[in-house]
Amino acid sequence: MPPRLRVAIGADRAGQQYMSVLRDDLRQNARVASVINTSSDHPDAVTYPVIACEAARLVVEGIVDRALLVCHTGLGMAIAANKVPGIRAVTAHDSLSVRASVESNNAQVLALGQGVIGLAAARRLAAEWLTYRFEATPTTAAKVDAITAYENRPRRHLL
């Protein structure tokens, strides 16, 4: 079995219900070494950009390996997390996308939408997500390297 993962989890008010169930699932999963909650004790006071960026920061700093985020659609969390340099965050609500996000794109952050999929599907996808590892083939590594190079270019050279 690969090394156990350290996972950050977070949700805004619209994702709190799923997050509490997913957090418990993560804590009970043999593939997970630790779980850090980036949500506030007062979820009404913290918005998804703050939660997502905190989780992404933990990934970039090497404190956790991955982050699982929940909001109403998953879109806002992924957009916010992607603003942190070095992060590849996706919103995925099907098995193929979850698998490809990790194996092909080396995404470290998965965002789910509580208003988009049922709780059983969210739990299944989160469990599947833990089983995948990035496969650094020449093709996948080259594509991820190209994304990273683009991200690291000075702003004046983006176009």
C-alpha to C-alpha distance for 110 and 108, rounded to whole angstroms: 7
Longest distance between any two alpha carbons in the chain, whole Å: 47
How far apart are alpha carbons 155 and 96 in whole angstroms? 33
Query: Quick check: 54 and 27 in contact, CB under 8 A?
Result: no
Active-site residue, selected from the candidate residues 26, 71, 117, 126: 71
Rounded to 5°, the CA angle 137-140-142 comes to 100
Is position 53 annotated as part of the catalytic site?
no
DSSP state of 45: G
Which residues form the catalytic set? 71
